[in-house]
Amino acid sequence: MSTAIYLNTARLGLMLPRVQRLYGDFLKFTGDEVSSLYFDKFIYFGFESLPNKIQKIYPFLSDWKGISNFKKSLKSILSVPLYATTDAKILLANRSCQLMKLGANLLFLKSPKVLTTDLEWPQYKAILKQQKEFLGGKIKTVDLRSFILEDNCTREDLISRVISAYDKYDCDGLFISHITFEGFRLPVEDIVKIITSQKKKPSFVVVDGSQSFSHSPLNILEYSDFYITGCHKWLRAWHPMGLAFCSQSNSVEFITTIYRQMLEKGKLDDPLLNFTNQLELGSNSAFTETVNLNSLFSAAAAVANILEGNQSMEQKFKKLVEQVEKLEAVSINYHWTPLVKNDSLKSGIGLIKSTKPSIRALTPKQLRASFQSHGIDLTAYGKGIIRISAPIKELDINDYKLFHKALDFCHS
């Protein structure tokens, strides 16, 4: 059965119609003009650099306005005043894990003791550990998962638990998710604010924003040195691309020096990061790896879509949370329990657990397939846990009927 309800944006967001249209024209343009001067001009200077006759043939390419304008438009959707400063910097990479590698290096160069949580994305935690082995330093972990799920903690409890661990282990750096892969919205702004007011500002803060960019408001940028995210989840540009926002003016120079050193020494292996760095430096080596630039164009169309929309990030976030709550409310009738109880920790990603032993015994693959057979795509984990991420469009009565049917099937 094809997918009728897509509840998997936390993994890969569905491609926006605007991105699809751009891709259609991009494929034609590439096929027709790849070897012409127009193609190079388009990449570097954008649609406006093309002659009128070419613009008329491929009108949906108009969202691409060149790399520096793309970075400017990214800054404008962040709507954080600090971000208007010219010091703020954005890095673009084909693979977000290379940005995490850079983030881990920055952390250990500045902070010998880094505090993190047990809620972090496993691959990023492994990168943090690897870089610690190379550079020296210590990682301390504060356990939050059972505190949230079993002890039903409040936002304030969570803040004080993180801050006491930070004090106890005498840490001076932080690596933490803004919204975790399981959908817990962590109060990172308050944690950094309180540490700064009670002790001293952490030497370096890296925030994993993979699940929060274009999902929730980003006041966090005022409190993080290095915020890592991607374009393929909530931005719905579909083509994977990593972004890092460096918004603290006192760390931008340090970050720039380190990432350039790492690129030169081959310690960062990312063609797009290398390409954009060469552009910034005004150098153009003929011997760099061939780089896939497609993700730039799709992200530009997705960003243009936000800029032309009239919904604030606060409104968008509120709606996404409500959509998840509605689905959670349905699931309760079929012996499923929503796992996050405290409103302030909720996001547009919900975690629901079945109370039935037969469902808990299914493998994640079997559980996911059971929903897929009813036209619902979501993420399934072991022990009868599913993760639903809010659909972008409001679900209608027929969608709810399908959801009821899938849950009823699991129930019977």
Ligand X SMILES: Cc1ncc(COP(=O)(O)O)c(C=O)c1O
Query: Which residues make up the interface to ligand X (CB under 6 A)?
Result: 11, 96, 121, 124, 177, 180-181, 208, 210-211, 230, 242
Shortest distance, CB of residue 176 to ligand X, whole angstroms?
Answer: 10
By C-beta, is 29 or 223 nearer to ligand X? 223
**Residue from 184, 185, 189 nearest 174 by CA:** 189
By C-beta, is 165 or 176 nearer to ligand X? 176
CA 66-67-69 angle, 5° bins:
70
By C-beta, is 61 or 207 nearer to ligand X? 207
By C-beta, is 103 or 242 nearer to ligand X? 242
Query: How many Å apart are CA 102 and CA 95, to the nearest integer?
Result: 12
Shortest distance, CB of residue 221 to ligand X, whole angstroms?
Answer: 17
Shortest distance, CB of residue 119 to ligand X, whole angstroms?
Answer: 9
Query: How many Å apart are CA 399 and CA 16, to the nearest integer?
Result: 20
Q: What's the gap between Cα 225 and its chain centre? A: 16
By C-beta, is 130 or 249 nearer to ligand X? 130
**Residue from 100, 75, 127 nearest 209 by CA:** 100
404 Rama sector, left if φ>0, alpha if ψ -120 to 50, beta otherwise? alpha
Shortest distance, CB of residue 32 to ligand X, whole angstroms?
Answer: 32
Query: How many Å apart are CA 16 and CA 300, to the nearest integer?
Result: 12
Shortest distance, CB of residue 180 to ligand X, whole angstroms?
Answer: 6
Shortest distance, CB of residue 227 to ligand X, whole angstroms?
Answer: 12
Helix, strand or coil, per DSSP, at residue 153: coil
Shortest distance, CB of residue 370 to ligand X, whole angstroms?
Answer: 22
By C-beta, is 33 or 208 nearer to ligand X? 208
Query: How many Å apart are CA 372 and CA 365, to the nearest integer?
Result: 10
By C-beta, is 131 or 177 nearer to ligand X? 177
Shortest distance, CB of residue 245 to ligand X, whole angstroms?
Answer: 15
Structure tokens at 33: 């003009």
Measured CA distances, 284 to 91, 111, 280, 299 (Å): 18, 35, 10, 24
Measured CA distances, 60 to 33, 55, 63, 65 (Å): 16, 9, 7, 12
By C-beta, is 61 or 293 nearer to ligand X? 293
Shortest distance, CB of residue 49 to ligand X, whole angstroms?
Answer: 31
Query: Is there a contact between 353 and 328 (Cβ–Cβ < 8 Å)?
Result: no
Query: How many Å apart are CA 234 and CA 37, to the nearest integer?
Result: 35
By C-beta, is 237 or 406 nearer to ligand X? 237
CA contacts within 13 A on the Cβ side of 65:
12
Residue whose beta carbon is closest to ligand X: 181
Measured CA distances, 221 to 16, 176, 217, 384 (Å): 25, 13, 10, 35
